[in-house]
Amino acid sequence: MAHDPGFWMLQALNALQLSMLLFLLSIGLTVIFGLMHFVNLAHGSLYALGAYFGASAAAVGGFWLGFFVAPVAVAGVGVLLYSGLIRRMRKSGPMAQVLVTFGLIFALLDLTRLFWGDLALAIQVPQILAGRTALLGIEYPTYRLFIIGLGLSIFAALAFVLSRTQIGAMIRAGVDNDAMAACLGINVERLFFIVFCVGCALAGLAGVVAAPLLSVTPDMGLQILIPTLIVIVIGGLGSLKGAVAGSLIFGFVQTFGAVLAPQLASVLIYALLAAVLVIKPVGLFPAKG
Amino acid sequence: MLETRNLDKSFGAVHVTRNVSMKLERGERRVILGPNGAGKTTFFNQLVGELSPDGGSVHLAGEDVTALPVAKRARRGLSRSYQKNTLFDGLTVEENLGLAAAVHTGKATRLWSDSLADPEVREIVEEVAEQVNLMPHIHAKVSQISYGVRRQLEVGVALATRPLVLLMDEPTSGVGPEMSKRFHALLNNLPRDLTMLIIEHDMDLAFDVADTITVLNYGEVVFDGLPEQARGSKLLKDIYLGSWEDA
Amino acid sequence: MFRHNALRYAVLVVLLAAALFQAFTAEYFGLEILTEILILAILVLALDIVAGFGGMVSLCHGALMGVGAYAYALLSAKAGIAPPLAMAGAVALTGVTAWAIGAICSRSHGIYFIMATLAFGQMAYSYVFEALVFGGDDGLGGIARLDLGLFGIDLNDSRSFALFCLAALGAVYGAAVLILRSGLGRSLSGVMHNEQRMRALGLTVWRVKADVFGLSGMIAGLAGALAAQHIMYISPGLLSWTVSGEALVVVILGGLGTLVGPLVGAAAFVVLKHELSGLTSYWHLVVGVILIAVVMSRANGIFGWIEARWGDRIERRVADATRKPEPEEATSDA
């Protein structure tokens, strides 16, 4: 089996699919950090909320309704969080932010249980994405290909927005030096708000697209949080490049680790993280010098 | 005692230190003059190891220390003060000096004894407090003392490691001329065998303490000699007047 | 720098009296809660040393406690080593683990430090979860308590075990005070206040951080060894990052960098948890909201708030009371 090129192809696609899912989550978290120096540990909870909103909407109007409702609804939650908590916590140190968002994790966890109960929910994959597709000599689940495609298109869209549009230039200026950006007449406060909401929407999107692969449970947000944090610490907080690199590294190390060294698989990624922290304490592609 | 040979450093296209060679004998008091942006502080940072040079070497007491990290150089007798106060803000004057003295006496990493209560540390603390005139404020917290006293403490902390070479980055920056004069008098009363390298922005103040003077301009040594020669130098006037015009 | 003041002594005395009263009067359930509080208190003291006095906000202290618990279980139940030695071994092993984590993370600051320690905690968690020797998801059972029969004490009795944990907590508190007042502890607070300057003075900063982190790890390991003996069964859940998070919450709710505050926090947290979980299954929601409220209020926890409000006044009153009354005042009254 190990000498079968199709097998490795399959693993590579699995790794890529995991990477893309993590990318959707980490990009929001990392840009919010880069711009606002705010670490939102509750980002995973937003992902879980996305899955729940998606599952509820899908139960009414099918997968595609859920697919569009989830990011919008989670962005709505983001608006509430931003105006209620985040805006007031911006000037606090990292510890206060970590604690407040840790409190949010607790609160959101129980709120999802309160609204949706403890039982796992499921989302059906739509007909068009069900089944398998032949690709480069192997049969691969169409839905997973859809996730890869979605991740790549979001990446392309973000890269375009960041490098070619005015709002992208404003965000880059804000990441480099928010005080200077404010001096240049950029409405930094509004920029933060928009970026925060987009980050939340992407987390919600990640939740709803991950839902058919996993079951939707209250603790799914907790489970995804650690991989997401590893991605952005390896990649370097605040940079698009870092989020991409971190996601790919995590996806491939995790997937191939499980195949090549099953005993070490779970520890491998943490060992890699430790190595990165020793050699480059601020990650591989930090946003600033 | 302290020597640099062809020290060189660039940040991208900006050449901040150009081939700087400088030599301080034991007990020598040298003042580095130069307009803003002449590369004085960058030069200091390379001396103590907070910045690594692109080329050249730093020698302390005859030994090449270019590859040594900040802490190791400090333990060999190189101590600095900062242009911007870099103190332990929540702590008292006594504790500030004590932390430094503890490192010097090797008590800073002991688990079985309190470094601040150690007789050897206390002796250094008192001595330094006398030397830089901090006795009246010894139990005050940093937040409770005036800016001028903080500048004294800034140098006092550096002095409490009992260095061979004391580097001071504009010790009187932000302090009025009256107080600066008094501060220079304190420096002149320090033991004669202490080697000092002082960055000073104000030319007149420099003459209070300097045995020798180095002038940096655009990262380059443009003058190296005695204060008397510097005083009448046209070059110096041009540099300073030039910089005034720029500003 | 750590200092005791009148308020801190007073709260310590009250806490000790309450613990002793509970230990001698409570029934089985009350004793279980007391023991839970005492073990959590040991853990949060370990965390307060690094977070409150060294600025090293660790999210791996729960995992360190788990390392101590597993080390004790394996050494005593599987390797057949005598419980006292197994306990010493567990403490030492956790200390070494923590030292290594501290050394690796010493160059990271702020959010990076938090995340790096979080990752190491998870590393230990997933390793314990998957390695067969640790019993995986099922955990390990049949863990024996220390045998103090020699002194006529049976630790299998809940009351004795609670008192044993109280003694351990007392010893740990004393050790914490000694650590913070040692040269190492002084240097640590120097590093927290100004790391750059400490380095410029010649201190090997990473060693100080790693050493204190190791000492803190030893204390966390002791908490783990006690926790394993308390429940006599351990599972990987002990190492989960939410345990570390809860410990941090307790330190914050109590008052970071006060040592006394986290003790108050531990008692409040465990009691609150038991009261709330009796009322509602959504007690995490309540804890979450309280946590957000406390952090947003910008007070340094319950104890920090009390200290900021009344600490000075109490200090002054104590000073007045101990000073000899002036003769003039004495006569003017007459």
Q: Among all residues of chain A, which has the CA nearest to that of C246?
A: A102
Q: Mean pLDDT over residues B173-177, rounded? A: 84
- Is a pLDDT exceeding 90 seen at residue A272? no
- Is a pLDDT exceeding 90 seen at residue C126? no
Does A1 fall in a domain? no
Residue pair A213/A123 in contact by the 8 Å Cβ criterion: no
The residue from B133, B162, B191 where one domain ends is: B162
Q: The domain containing residue A205 runs over which residues?
A: 23-219
CA distances from A233 to A276, B35, C133 (A): 9, 41, 31
Q: Are residues B60 and B2 in the same domain?
A: yes
- Say how many domains are in chain C: 1
- Is a pLDDT exceeding 90 seen at residue C67? yes
Q: The domain containing residue C24 runs over which residues?
A: 6-239
Partner-chain residue, chosen from C249, C281, C285, that has the shortest CB–CB distance to A107: C285
Mean pLDDT of chain C: 88
What letter does residue B247 receive in the DSSP assignment?
Answer: -
Tell me how crowded residue A118 is: count the other CB atoms within 10 A of its CB.
Answer: 9
Helix (H) or strand (E) holding B15: strand B14-24
What letter does residue B90 receive in the DSSP assignment?
Answer: T
Q: Are residues B171 and B241 in the same domain?
A: yes
- Token duo for residue C44: 């949060």
Interface check for C296 against chain A (CB to CB < 8 A): the answer is yes
Does A225 fall in a domain? no
Partner-chain residue, chosen from C111, C122, C287, that has the shortest CB–CB distance to A39: C111
CA A137 from chain centre, in angstroms, equals 30
Does C284 fall in a domain? no
Q: Are residues B143 and B198 in the same domain?
A: no
Q: In terms of Cα–Cα distance, which of C68, C65, C23 is closest to C41? A: C65
d(CA C240, CA C128): 10
How many percent of chain C have pLDDT more than 70? 96
- pLDDT band with cut points at 50, 70 and 90 for residue C329: very low
Q: Are residues B142 and B191 in the same domain?
A: no
Crossing angle, helix A220-235 and helix A240-260, to 10 degrees? Answer: 110
- Is a pLDDT exceeding 80 seen at residue A183? no
Does C12 fall in a domain? yes
Does C45 fall in a domain? yes
Q: Which residues of B touch C183 (CB under 8 A)?
A: 102, 107-111, 113-115, 118
- Say how many domains are in chain A: 1
CA distances from C38 to A97, A100, A232, C87, C263 (A): 28, 26, 37, 17, 9
The subunits that touch chain B, with at least 3 C-beta pairs less than 8 Å apart, are C
What was the pLDDT predicted at C230?
A: 92
* CA–CA min distance C117, chain A (Å): 10
- Is a pLDDT exceeding 70 seen at residue C238? yes
Bridge partners (DSSP) of residue B5 are B57
How many percent of chain C have pLDDT more than 90? 50
Q: Do C288 and A107 touch (CB under 8 A)?
A: yes
CA C211 from chain centre, in angstroms, equals 17
Q: Which residues of A touch C123 (CB under 8 A)?
A: 267, 270-271, 274
- pLDDT band with cut points at 50, 70 and 90 for residue C14: very high
pLDDT in tens, C142-162: 888 888 877 878 888 889 999
| Structure-model confidence comparison of residues C132 and A223, the more confident one | A223
Q: Mean pLDDT over residues B115-132, rounded? A: 92
pLDDT in tens, A94-108: 778 888 888 899 899
Q: Among all residues of chain C, which has the CA nearest to that of B70?
A: C200
What was the pLDDT predicted at C183?
A: 93
Residue pair B33/B214 in contact by the 8 Å Cβ criterion: yes
Does A77 fall in a domain? yes
Does C210 fall in a domain? yes
d(CA B97, CA A287): 38
Interface check for A85 against chain C (CB to CB < 8 A): the answer is yes
Does C110 fall in a domain? yes
- Is a pLDDT exceeding 60 seen at residue A288? no
- Is a pLDDT exceeding 70 seen at residue C200? yes
Q: Mean pLDDT over residues B56-65, rounded? A: 90
Does A3 fall in a domain? no
Helix (H) or strand (E) holding B8: strand B2-11
Task: Please spell the DSSP secondary structure of chain A, one letter per residue.
Answer: -TT-HHHHHHHHHHHHHHHHHHHHHHHHHHHHHHHH----TTHHHHHHHHHHHHHHHHHHH-HHHHHHHHHHHHHHHHHHHIIIIIHHHTTS-HHHHHHHHHHHHHHHHHHHHHHH-SS-B--PPPGGG-SEEEETTEEEEHHHHHHHHHHHHHHHHHHHHHHHSHHHHHHHHHHH-HHHHHHTT--HHHHHHHHHHHHHHHHHHHHHHHTTTS-B-TTHHHHHHHHHHHHHHHH-TT-HHHHHHHHHHHHHHHHHHHHH-TTTHHHHHHHHHHHHHHH-TT-SS-S--
Does C175 fall in a domain? yes
Residue pair A162/A240 in contact by the 8 Å Cβ criterion: yes
- Token duo for residue B80: 């600095």
- Say how many domains are in chain B: 2
Task: Please spell the DSSP secondary structure of B144-162, one letter per residue.
Answer: GS-HHHHHHHHHHHHHTT-
Q: Do B108 and C208 touch (CB under 8 A)?
A: yes
The residue from B140, B162, B184 where one domain ends is: B162
Q: The domain containing residue B95 runs over which residues?
A: 81-162
User: What number of CA atoms fall less than 13 Å from residue A96's CA on the CB side?
Assistant: 18
Does C322 fall in a domain? no
Backbone φ/ψ region at C301: left (φ over 0), alpha (ψ -120 to 50), beta:
left
Q: Mean pLDDT over residues B216-223, rounded? A: 86
Q: Mean pLDDT over residues B186-190, rounded? A: 89
CA B88 from chain centre, in angstroms, equals 18
Task: Please spell the DSSP secondary structure of B197-236, one letter per residue.
Answer: EEE-S-HHHHHHH-SEEEEEETTEEEEEE-HHHHHT-HHH
- Is a pLDDT exceeding 80 seen at residue B94? yes
- Is a pLDDT exceeding 70 seen at residue C333? no
Partner-chain residue, chosen from C186, C193, C205, that has the shortest CB–CB distance to B115: C186
What was the pLDDT predicted at B178?
A: 85
Q: Mean pLDDT over residues B81-95, rounded? A: 91
Q: Which residues of B touch C187 (CB under 8 A)?
A: 99, 102-103, 108-109, 115
Q: Are residues B25 and B130 in the same domain?
A: no
Assign residue B212 the CATH number of its domain. Answer: 3.40.50.300
Partner-chain residue, chosen from C241, C252, C284, that has the shortest CB–CB distance to A226: C241
What was the pLDDT predicted at C330?
A: 41
Q: Are residues B172 and B243 in the same domain?
A: yes
Residue pair A28/A203 in contact by the 8 Å Cβ criterion: yes
**Residues in B lying within 8 Å of C, measured between beta carbons:** 48, 50, 70-72, 74-75, 79-80, 82, 86-91, 95, 98-100, 102-104, 107-116, 118, 157-158, 161
State the virtual CA torsion across C53, C59, C61, C66 in degrees, nearest 10: 180
The residue from B162, B186, B203 where one domain ends is: B162
Tell me how crowded residue B27 is: count the other CB atoms within 10 A of its CB.
Answer: 13
* CA–CA min distance B51, chain C (Å): 12
- Is a pLDDT exceeding 50 seen at residue B64? yes
How many percent of chain B have pLDDT more than 70? 97
d(CA B142, CA B127): 19
Q: Are residues B130 and B233 in the same domain?
A: no
What is the number of helices (H) and of strands (E) in chain B? 9, 10
Residue pair A180/A249 in contact by the 8 Å Cβ criterion: no
Partner-chain residue, chosen from A97, A105, A229, that has the shortest CB–CB distance to C115: A229
Q: What is the pTM of this model?
A: 0.88
What was the pLDDT predicted at C323?
A: 62
Helix (H) or strand (E) holding B80: strand B78-81
d(CA B230, CA C159): 83
